Amino acid sequence: MNVIFQSDIKIEQPFFSVCIETYNRGKTIYRALESLLNQGVVDFNCIVADDCSTDETIEEIKRFITSAPYKNAPFQLNVYQNPQHLGGVLNWNNALEFAEGKYISVLEGDDFFQPKHLKNAYEILNKIPNIGIYATGSQRASRPITGIINSKKYFQYIYQMINVSPPSETIFIRLDKKGIPYKYDVVNNTYAPEIQLYLTISNDGWDAFHTSTQDVYREASTSFTNMTWKYFDDKFKIIEKYSTHKNINSVQLKKNFRRQYLLAVRRYLVANFQKKGNSESIKKGIQKVLKNKSFPAIYFYSIIFSLILFLEKIKCFEIYFKIKKAL
């Protein structure tokens, strides 16, 4: 990667490495970096990996570096840029390559940390040795389960994919118990590689800690108006991959499949009805999943989806919600 800026400050074995991946975050990246000045800890470094932004992202980073607040309270900051645009989630691991902290604190370029977020996390992580994942909340979501969650229960919890903490709300252990760095699986996951990462960490025996605080601000999402199959593809792959896992029973498997199926069908209908997003890609994705014989009760859902497509064609959109209740 090309070096944009390297700080003269050196921190030996930082407790946190704040990893920021950016692409066209010119309107928000200054705010994200500025939030690191109010964390109540100095034992961290920050690595930015830019995916060849075409807007003012790099200029805004340089403006922050030359600002009085950063000069008065500098922290180790290194900024890199890919030689070519990767797109999607392929840039997620690039900042991690330069991380040295005991824990990785991911911050997406359009979000920011509330004051003392890292300090709050430090007080827990420094006290409880086997925590592999620390998750806080934001103004958009809270953690329904708080406190320590043992690794087996956390694996089952993440497998449900109901309330998975997004990257900015999550801090995770950098090295596994063999000393190998954890990375996002961006080869088999195109939208939400954090789900697979959390499953891997908990499967390795690391416990989790959820806090009831809302220590992160997350920018409003526009994903619902740009709907494609990628929002569900990762999830169905995970359902299948762990269908025979020792921590997952047949009831959990069926419930998870049913939940994700209903969400996918609902998103297909909304996308088609609102003429937003690629509804055809969602439909093809659902049909592909329904042809997979490893999923439970597959013929029943195939019939239901065929009926939904028929009803949707004759403009009976409301019928779907009655079917959803019946299921």
Reported as a pLDDT band with limits 50, 70 and 90, residue 292 is confident
Q: Please say which residue of 184, 217, 250 terminates a domain.
A: 217
Question: Domain span at residue 193?
Answer: 2-217
> Highest-confidence range of 40-44, 115-119, 288-292, by mean pLDDT?
115-119
Which residue's entry shows tokens 């691991």?
93
Residues 146 and 167 in one domain: yes
Which residue's entry shows tokens 């169905």?
236
Residues 108 and 169 in one domain: yes
Q: What is the pLDDT of residue 39?
A: 96
Under DSSP, the state recorded for 20 is: E
Q: How many CB atoms lie within 10 A of CB 47?
A: 23
The CATH number of whichever domain residue 92 belongs to comes to 3.90.550.10
Residues 63 and 91 in one domain: yes
Q: How far is CA 40 from CA 92, 118, 195, 211, 302, in A?
A: 26, 7, 29, 18, 54
Query: Environment class of residue 220 by beta-carbon count within 10 Å: exposed (0-12), middle (13-18) or buried (19+)?
Result: exposed
| pLDDT tens digits, one per residue of 241-275 | 999 999 999 999 999 999 999 999 988 888 887 77
Residues 238 and 154 in one domain: no
Task: Kindly give the interhelix angle for 230-241 and 193-203, rounded to the nearest 10 degrees.
Answer: 20
What 3-state DSSP class applies to 64?
helix
Task: Kindly give the interhelix angle for 298-313 and 317-326, rounded to the nearest 10 degrees.
Answer: 160
Residues 139 and 32 in one domain: yes
The whole-angstrom separation of Cα 149 and Cα 160 is 15
CA atoms lying within 13 Å on the CB side of residue 252: 20
Under DSSP, the state recorded for 126 is: T
Q: How far is CA 163 from CA 1, 158, 195, in A?
A: 34, 8, 10
Q: Please say which residue of 217, 244, 277 terminates a domain.
A: 217
- How high is the mean pLDDT of the chain? 91
Q: Does 206 or 277 have the greater pLDDT score?
A: 206
Domain count, the chain: 2
Residues 233 and 213 in one domain: no
Chain-centroid distance of CA 164 in Å reads 8
Residue 296, pLDDT > 90, answer no
Q: Please say which residue of 217, 236, 255 terminates a domain.
A: 217
Strand order in the sheet with 131-135: 2-6, 76-81, 44-50, 16-22, 103-106, 170-173, 131-135, 207-210, 147-149
Residues 230 and 211 in one domain: no
Residues 200 and 145 in one domain: yes
Please give the model's pTM, rounded to 2 decimal places.
Answer: 0.91
Determine contact, residues 207/199, Cβ cutoff 8 Å.
no
Residues 192 and 237 in one domain: no
| pLDDT tens digits, one per residue of 190-243 | 889 999 999 999 999 999 999 999 999 998 865 555 678 988 999 999 999 999
Residues 130 and 245 in one domain: no
Residues 180 and 258 in one domain: no
Residues 243 and 205 in one domain: no
